[in-house]
Amino acid sequence: MREAFFLIFNFYFLKIYNFEPTDEDPITVDETYMREALKLAKQAYQEDEIPIGAIIVSHGKIIGKGYNLTERLNDVTAHAEMQAFTAASNYMGGKYLKDCTLYVTVEPCVMCAGASYWTQVSRIVYGATDEKRGASKFGQLYHPKTTIVSGMLQKECADLITSFFRNKR
Ligand SMILES: [Zn+2]
C-alpha cells in the first residue's frame, strides 16, 4: 500500500514539476530506496534467514527485489542480490542493467560483486560493510562502469545482522 502510494506520489510529483528523480537530493532518494531494501532484510529475519535485502531501481521504479533465501532454498548462491539481478533482468528483457541502481543492505560478497560485473549495473549503494567477506577486501571486482556508494543507513543495516547472530548464540 505504501509502495503504491509512493509510486502514485512520484508520478504526480514528476508530472507537475517535470524533472527526473535524479534531480532530487540523491541522498534522500538513496535513503528512501535503502529503506525498501531494509524491509526485505527484515522479512528475511522473520524467516530465520540472514537478514540481507536488495532492490534494483531503474528510472524511479523498483524492477527487482530479493532477500537472502539460502536456508529455504538450501542454496548457498541464493543471496538477496542474485535474486534481485534475475528479477530485474527479466523485467528489462535483457541481461544488462543499464541505468539501474542496486540497493543492498550489506556489502556484496565476491560472488554477488562478480554477478554485478556481468550485469554492468550502473550503481551499487550498500549499507553495512562486511569486514570478512565484503568484495572490497578482494580487489577490484566490480565493473569499471559501476559506481559504488557505501554506508547508506549503515547502522540500521548492521544492527539487523548483529541482532540476528546474537539471537543465534
Ligand atoms: Zn553475495
Question: In DSSP terms, which residues pair with 64 in a beta bridge?
Answer: 56
Distance CA 156, CA 38 (A): 8
Confidence check: pLDDT of 12 > 70? no
3-class DSSP string for 91-152: HHCCCCCCCEEEEEEECCCHHHHHHHHHHCCCEEEEEECCCCCCHHHHCCCCCCCCEEECCC
100 marked as part of a ligand binding site: no
Backbone angles phi, psi at 18, to 5 degrees: 55, 45
pLDDT band for position 150 (cuts 50, 70, 90): very high
Q: Which residue has the cell 538477496?
A: 80
Å from CA of 4 to ligand 1 middle: 29
109 marked as part of a ligand binding site: yes
pLDDT tens-place string over residues 70-87: 999 999 999 999 999 999
This prediction has a pTM of 0.84
Active site residues: 81
Å from CA of 82 to ligand 1 middle: 7
Confidence check: pLDDT of 9 > 60? no
Arithmetic mean of pLDDT, 34-55: 98
Q: What is the pLDDT of residue 122?
A: 98
Q: Are the C-beta atoms of residues 85 and 63 closer than 8 Å to each other?
A: no
Å from CA of 109 to ligand 1 middle: 4
Q: What is the pLDDT of residue 22?
A: 52
Q: Choose the weakest-confidence range: 23-27, 28-32, 73-77, 120-124.
A: 23-27
Distance CA 125, CA 114 (A): 16
pLDDT tens-place string over residues 86-130: 999 999 999 999 999 999 999 999 999 999 999 999 999 999 999
Question: Which domains, and CATH codes, for the chain?
Answer: 28-167 (3.40.140.10)
Confidence check: pLDDT of 160 > 80? yes
Confidence check: pLDDT of 60 > 50? yes
Q: Which residue has the cell 569499471?
A: 144
What DSSP designation does 49 have? S
Q: Residue 163, Cα to own-chain centre: how many angstroms?
A: 20
Å from CA of 14 to ligand 1 middle: 34
Amino acid at 116: S
Q: Are the C-beta atoms of residues 72 and 49 closer than 8 Å to each other?
A: yes
